[in-house]
Amino acid sequence: MNNPLRVFLIDDEALALRRLARMLEATHRVQIVGSTTDPEAALAALSHESLDALFLDIEMPGLSGFEFLAKLPVQPFVIFTTAYDHYALRAFAVNSIDYLLKPIEAEQLDRALTKLERLRAGGQPPQMRAVIEQLAAALQVPPAAYPTRIASRLGDRIQFIELPRVSHFVAKDKLTYAVTGEKQFVVDAAIAELEQKLDPARFIRIHRATLVNLDFIAEVHTAFAGGMTVRLKDARRTELAVARDRVRALKQRLAF
């Protein structure tokens, strides 16, 4: 391979980092000079590494991808990797910055590498400092306040259930239940309402009748005709069906 792209990988999810490394190695077009799940460690490593491009996650604890770039003294070519398409990511392409949505597909990756090779041949990366600082500042806006518990009414008594205890919500027999390790609680909301109301970083809808807590997913199994099931970490090892039209979104959230 002649003059491969020298790249560095940063993603706070170790599984996603390993998958990206395998995909890049399979292209035979790059040399991975380093990778880490810790953006602070990456700042130190990049101070003495010469590279062509950076593959960088956006949402990371402690230091976002935008904040990380704002701290770099030299601006490299950047390909953002993210499971979230709610940023103005398409604007980056105009400024010669690309992005890949997780789970990353081989075709997307090849497109990005071709673009990087073309840009490297053209010279230095564009001056993106103002754009990066603006996006970093935008991330400082407090996120929407999501509830931390939910009410369950039984007669004239109302009980509050802490949401981290809820493994999933399920609709059956015209009622919606919040399921915990101890019991099921009737809640006064439809699954569609809960999907809009609860923190999307924790709960994802996998079926028209099911909303699952991502923290409780222990295993994922492929099923017939493109379907999928998830097995939970609860004592019953509950299995839940994933509708075919929800599979892609779940894969993105779990980064596989």
Residue 207 covered by a domain:
yes
Boundaries of domain holding 221: 149-254
| Domain boundary, last residue among 138, 169, 191 | 138
Look at 50-59, 64-73, 91-100, 146-155 and tell me which has the smallest mean pLDDT: 91-100
* pLDDT at 60 (0 to 100): 82
Q: Is the pTM of this model over 0.85?
A: no
> Which tops the pLDDT comparison, 200 or 93?
200
Q: Are residues 91 and 168 in the same domain?
A: no
- Residue 90: pLDDT above 50? no
CA distance linking residue 229 with residue 214, whole number of Å? 13
For residue 171, the domain's CATH number is 2.40.50.1020
Q: Are residues 243 and 191 in the same domain?
A: yes
Q: Are residues 117 and 157 in the same domain?
A: no
| Average pLDDT score, the chain | 84
Q: Are residues 120 and 194 in the same domain?
A: no
* pLDDT at 24 (0 to 100): 96
Q: In angstroms, what CA-CA distances link 125 with 76, 77, 134, 176? A: 6, 6, 18, 53
CA-wise closest residue to 232 among 171, 194, 179: 179
* pLDDT at 144 (0 to 100): 59
Residue 9 covered by a domain:
yes
CA distance linking residue 248 with residue 255, whole number of Å? 10
Q: How many domains is the chain partitioned into structurally?
A: 2
Task: Provide the 10 A C-beta neighbour count for residue 74.
Answer: 10
- Residue 7: pLDDT above 90? yes
* pLDDT at 200 (0 to 100): 86
Task: Give residue 48's pLDDT band: very low, low, confident or very high (50, 70, 90).
Answer: confident
Task: Give residue 84's pLDDT band: very low, low, confident or very high (50, 70, 90).
Answer: low
Query: Burial letters for 168-188: b for 16+ Cβ neighbours within 10 Å, e otherwise?
Result: bbbbeeeebbbbbeeebbebe
- Is the distance from CB of 168 to CB of 240 less than 8 angstroms? yes
CA distance linking residue 29 with residue 3, whole number of Å? 9
